Chain A
């Protein structure tokens, strides 16, 4: 039996009939067509599928799509404003906070939640805030650097959390 799910994803409304067994991450990837949210483990460990549900970071493999009915979701695709990258995206690129990049969207979404809660985190707070995301390539050093850089960029601009300051390119 299919169920209706109506969600706002990155500001756009979507409505579909889905099987209740469908995971939110599969809904986003296969139904909405947003494949930037990745699947790395199926056991809620790797964090590659991290998105925001009503502003809170969650692993989208821990929710059925039908549970998201009526919620507002933000995925990695919703972070940039047109051609302008979000400062966290910019910082991950600039600081070489990624190699294969598979974990990157999840890290960026986890970092965005962290910086929302704590705009000026210490290195320890950054590490604690990103404990739920695994990266196999970088050894995390440049990920910490990227979040530090993003925090600086973001606090350097007006109070708005999603204000974009970085130079693009």
Chain B
């Protein structure tokens, strides 16, 4: 149980046995089931709501509308602009309008269908550009620009010999965690409520819920329930406020569980976007300037749009030296489904564009695309386009070198005899026996920030408790950090085990009885909560050592190893359990990484970010150019993780993150028509299967960041950034088509 070991997940046994309790498995005696009435229109004025029919349905106990929201009927991560239940307008298809609680889920659903809402249907704005038009209807009081980020860096009139331009489009991706939203709210006698919930951030839920429910925060207690994946989908409130409102009104526990279809409207998505780029370079391929306009569709409410557009702008040029940059990032309100956090958070969209531009430039210069990237690679000490000097390892060239040097997979052709269909585009669907199949190889590299940015307060809290249980030392670690599958429970145990030299480490369930851990997002938890566990463990250790020295008059240089206090040379001083006796040593610590600062409104210059992480991918793709079908043959990747706290878990993150990038590149898209989702199910929103995701070749670098605990870097998001752009590049290489839009659709490759 030490840092650097591939320790198995402590929750693994329960998960493989089917005994791990997910939020959807929760149950309370006498509980009711909640259902949500949702808008069938993307944009409409609510004229009247008639709850009488719904209220009269069998089994129904409570029906609620905006009138019943006991606190402030607005919430939001960055801007409080979203009603818990729509009152005057509905602004997207599927927006929550009313709630029902009934004895049985089927009764609740039927009652929700029976509830009558009189709408005046309005013409929706379903295009971000249209939302910016001067005469566009204002969807929110301050207009339709949620945020505009301007970056003005270097010589604004720079000119270059070689200029390439491009326009790129990114579709709307869904996080699609396998476990749909669910939770259980239990009202207490004193008017408080206990919510068991799968969320990425307990405390921000608590804060928002307290305001919405009109309760002091201590009357809204949250306990983490088992999470079936997150990827950004559980950063905003979904059913949290709804279940609490119903439970408080009914005086009985209320459970809500979304179906997959409801899940598609129950959480935010990755921002779709349109990106215009101009790259200028000298004849040696050195970048002179980059100009870009990035327009993201934020949908009906802000969610984390303001932070996403900051990232999209800050990392718009990729990890390259760019002397001059003119970047305009805009995120707009529309009547499309709200968009917010998803793994990669703004850096995914721009990576498609800057990497396509680099390939275009390489083609223009007749230069090898990897060579062009190396020539422009960002290095330690360089200034970013935000003016920040980048410190710590910046292994852009090393990562590129690594993926370029990896052996290429064998060609799928020319084996003779029977065709192995599973190796070809289309698989057993038998669309080609090799006809039309062309292989392409593509490269991409990306980077992004780890942790919160722009002065947003980033910290985590850990309580570490050391005591004796059954004659042995035991450590309990308590934080509010969300284990979303990434392996944070393992990492916390490893860190406490390492710092305290104790073998029996238990990570308690996360809840709001301990201070905030911040969210499980921005690839930050191993760094920040890991840092908090390390700091608290060190404080406990210091007390143990002091105790040993005081009680045993032991020499200095003591440490704890394998449940024993030992001398500097490893000689046993005293078993920890003996030393402790009945003593309980408990310390709570906050960990704060270095401060960040807001982007300047006019120039976008600031030390806005805390740490940067880099990953590169090489994709090998076979494309049936005649049918437009493709198979990703292999992904190769290199990533600097600083220090792999748990190598096996790091590999899992890199593989899983790469798969989500693959999904956006080749199949995943929420398809909208006039603001209505046309494919809100896994039948038509396609996720990569085991036959779509290839084996991954990887090189994990551990270059050690001098500023972070153990030298680690956040791991989760970088793989999702560059895998898709590498695939797009490979398809471009195979087909000669420009590929300016993802996901790549068969008709884009053929017609």
Contacts and interface: CB of A to CB of B under 8 A. Distances in A.
A137 B260 contact: no
A89 B261 CA distance: 30
Interface in B249-286: 259-261
Contact of A43 (B229, B260, B689): B260
Contacts of A100: 177-179, 227-230, 484-485
A124 B427 CA distance: 11
Interface in B572-606: none
A137 B229 contact: yes
A140 B693 contact: yes
A36 B693 contact: no
A130 B652 contact: no
A138 B652 contact: yes
Contact of A76 (B18, B227, B651, B659): B18
A151 interface: no
A136 interface: yes
A135 B355 CA distance: 28
A45 interface: yes
Nearest to A108: B16
Contacts of B180: 39-40
Nearest to B661: A139
B469 interface: no
Interface in B2-19: 6, 8-9, 11-13, 15-19
Nearest to A94: B8
A118 to B, nearest CB: 14
A92 B177 CA distance: 19
A139 B651 CA distance: 10
Contacts of B693: 139-141
Interface stretch (B68-76, B299-307, B679-687): B679-687
Contacts of B649: 96
Interface in A83-97: 85, 89-90, 92-94, 96
Interface in B222-266: 226-231, 259-261
A35 interface: yes
A85 B659 CA distance: 29
A99 B485 contact: yes
B467 interface: no
Contacts of A43: 260, 681-683
Contacts of A42: 259-261, 681
Contacts of B659: 138-140
Given A131-B691, A136-B231, A139-B658, A98 B16 contact: yes
B13 A85 contact: yes
Contacts of A108: 16
Interface stretch (B21-29, B92-100, B398-406, B618-626): B21-29
Contacts of A136: 175-178, 229, 231, 656, 660, 687
Contacts of A29: 25
A139 B484 contact: no
Given A137-B656, A141-B696, A98 B682 contact: no
A101 B20 contact: yes
B179 A96 contact: no
A148 to B, nearest CB: 12
Contacts of B696: 139, 141
A133 B688 CA distance: 10
A22 B692 CA distance: 34
B679 to A, nearest CB: 11
A52 to B, nearest CB: 13
A21 B128 CA distance: 44
A30 B425 CA distance: 42
Q: Give chain B's interface secondary structure class.
A: loop
Interface string B633-666: 0000000000000001101100111111000000
Contacts of A92: 12, 16
A102 B179 contact: yes
A45 B176 CA distance: 13
A88 B100 CA distance: 42
Contacts of B652: 96, 99, 137-139, 141-142
Given A34-B18, A96-B652, A102-B229, A40 B260 contact: yes
B690 A131 contact: yes
Contact of B682 (A128, A134, A135): A134
Contact of B681 (A41, A77, A85, A90): A41
A103 B682 CA distance: 14
A153 B657 CA distance: 29
Contacts of B22: 35, 38, 102
A56 interface: no
B21 A93 contact: no
Contacts of A139: 652, 655-659, 693, 696
Contact of B179 (A36, A40, A128): A40
Contacts of B12: 92-93, 98, 101
Contacts of A34: 18
B178 A124 contact: no
B130 interface: no
B486 interface: yes
Contact of A41 (B484, B656, B682, B695): B682
A70 B320 CA distance: 66
Given A38-B179, A76-B18, A99-B487, A140 B228 contact: no
A136 B342 CA distance: 13
B413 interface: no
Contacts of A103: 178
B542 interface: no
B16 A85 contact: yes
Contacts of B17: 36, 76-77, 79-80, 85, 89
Contacts of B423: 124
Interface centre among B9, B660, B690 (most CB of A within 10 A): B690
B218 interface: no
Nearest to A100: B485
Contacts of B231: 136
Contacts of A135: 178, 690
Q: Which of A104, A135, A139 has the most CB of B within 10 A?
A: A139
Contacts of B13: 85, 93
A46 interface: yes
A141 B19 CA distance: 24
B321 to A, nearest CB: 32
A51 B21 CA distance: 18
Nearest to A35: B25
Given A124-B422, A142-B655, A75 B178 contact: no
A127 B421 CA distance: 13
B690 A101 contact: no
B50 interface: no
A57 to B, nearest CB: 15
Interface in B667-722: 681-683, 687, 689-691, 693, 695-696
In the complex, which of the residues A75, A98, A101, A108 has the most CB atoms of chain B within 10 Å of its own CB atom?
A: A101
Nearest to A44: B683
B16 A93 contact: yes
Interface of A: 21, 29, 34-43, 45-46, 48, 75-77, 79-80, 85, 89-90, 92-94, 96, 98-105, 108, 124, 127-128, 130-131, 133-144
27 contacts: A21-B106, A29-B25, A36-B19, A43-B682, A45-B682, A45-B683, A48-B178, A77-B17, A80-B17, A89-B17, A98-B16, A100-B227, A100-B229, A100-B230, A101-B16, A101-B228, A102-B228, A102-B229, A108-B16, A127-B691, A130-B690, A135-B690, A136-B176, A136-B660, A137-B656, A138-B655, A141-B651
The 6 A-B residue pairs with the shortest CB-CB distance in the complex, in nearest-first order: A36-B18, A100-B485, A101-B15, A102-B228, A139-B655, A76-B18
Given A96-B648, A99-B229, 12 more contacts: A36-B18, A37-B18, A42-B261, A45-B682, A76-B18, A92-B16, A96-B649, A100-B484, A101-B228, A102-B22, A135-B178, A140-B655
Interface of B: 6, 8-9, 11-13, 15-22, 24-25, 106, 175-180, 226-231, 259-261, 420, 422-423, 428, 484-487, 648-649, 651-652, 655-660, 681-683, 687, 689-691, 693, 695-696
